[in-house]
Amino acid sequence: MPEQKFVKNFRTAKIIQLCLLAVIEIIFSVTLIMDSRLRRMIYADRTLFILCAIIWVLMIFGFICLLNDFFKLRALAVGSHALTQTAYLDSLTSIPNRHSLDAVFRTYTSKKSMQHIGCAMFTISNLKRVNETEGYQAGDRLIQDFCSIFEALGDSAGFVGRNGGNEFVAVLSDCSRKSIEGFISELESKISLYNTEHEKMPIKIRSAYTLAEEEQVQAFTQLLTATYNKLYHIF
């Protein structure tokens, strides 16, 4: 990401500057300590003494400025991390959001990169009813609980995230029909287990999936569109 790259380059530049300044200060100090003739010459010549004093003060000032830059760098890194969290994670569930999904799009830009890629899409089919009967806070809790289960299975998928609203996407690499159906089956099993403890407000999902090779798509957006059409029965 641009912000992270800037922080990294800024830190590298400041480390180089600090090292150079440290080397210069060490050489300057050691020379003065070891060379008594040079010291006497400096003490005897007022102009030379003032010049050396100015150089010494400037080096100390430069060192202080570099330390200040490192403090700024720390604040910048914290701000960059917070910005990334805000930009790429869903505010309600803290799982990757649509911006993260767009970043996934950019990794699959050719037909070759689309080989063995699968896409699964999910909606919570009873969310609208829960919002209407129990309120939107209850609906938000249902989304959060679903996403906790969904994200926990993310290690077996290349990407899991919220596409927005009531749409959730999983992208699987090295994917076959068996593996993507296995992923969906495992998710449904976890939800069934959850529902045994939440009978009053269970999670009910609808799902659809598409394999890039079967659909012969050449771009990830086409794969996502094909999955979306299957989910909502658009043909």
Confidence of residue 76 (pLDDT cuts 50, 70, 90): low
Phi, psi for residue 217 in degrees, rounded to 5? -90, 155
Domain ranges of the chain: 2-88, 98-231
pLDDT in tens, 136-186: 999 999 999 999 999 988 766 678 999 888 999 999 888 889 999 999 999
Quote the pTM value. 0.64
Give me the sign of the Cα torsion angle 21, 23, 25, 28.
Answer: negative
Best CA proximity match to 169, nearest among 228, 120, 114: 120
Instruction: Tell me if residue 161 falls in helix, strand or coil.
Output: strand
* Distance from C-alpha of 86 to C-alpha of 90, rounded to nearest angstrom: 7
Supply the pLDDT for residue 193.
95
* Distance from C-alpha of 9 to C-alpha of 73, rounded to nearest angstrom: 11
Helices (DSSP H) in 135-219: which residue ranges?
Answer: 136-152, 177-197, 212-215
- Domain 98-231 superfamily per CATH: Reverse transcriptase/Diguanylate cyclase domain (3.30.70.270)
- Look at residue 97 and tell me whether its pLDDT is greater than 50: yes
Supply the pLDDT for residue 56.
77
Supply the pLDDT for residue 83.
45
